[in-house]
Structure 1
Amino acid sequence: MAFSDYSITPSANLTLAGLSLAENSTALASYNNQVRQLMADGKELANTVAALGNPLLLTGGTVTGNIIRSGFGGHYYANDAAHTGPRIYSLVDGSAAPTSPPAGSVVFYYAA
């Protein structure tokens, strides 16, 4: 039995390892098996959580592979760690180039 099979309502959990948990009905000898079952269920949960891998940190995480975004725009990839704040500029053809853009920035000019 997995932890996901248990109820969050304590009184709804009537059996454990096939043994009754009803008041005054569980034989003392069956407690060992019930505790063993709880330990096995806990280990199964721990293995499941560990199999998920490491979560991506809010800051400072590293991602390998392609990033798929939902919503607007693409993801900017800078192949140099020094390019920490690059920008993508989209300007009308003939416009002046941006002054002091961050390293790694890209400028696109389009016809109006």
Structure 2
Amino acid sequence: MEVSERGKYDELGFVFLALADPTRRRLVEQLRAGDATVTDLADRLQVAIPSVSKHLTVLEGAGLVSRHREAQWRRCHLESAAFARLREWVDQYESLWTGSLDRLEARLRDEQA
């Protein structure tokens, strides 16, 4: 997906779309350990640098990653604010699965009795 398509989606929708790709999720996982250069990420994932750069552009457009220059290197950094917004949205639905688990537990107790 091109970053220019962002206008079609709300902010949260673009975050989900960015994370829908397994390579981008692997990049996010790598960046959890700390900032890294595009070359470092490409080496770790055994993916071509131009491909990693394109994926990072999508993640950057979704607000999940930022890139900054350090001397001759461009370091990539995870942005916690986008993940916080994602967490807030998911937390709204916690009662759905918590309630389901509570009902399952009660049913299992009834069957065992």
Band the TM-score falls in, shorter-chain normalisation: 0.3 to 0.5
Q: Which has the higher contact order (CA 8 A, sep 6+)?
A: 2
The structure with the greater share of residues assigned to helix is 2
TM-score where L is the length of structure 2: 0.33
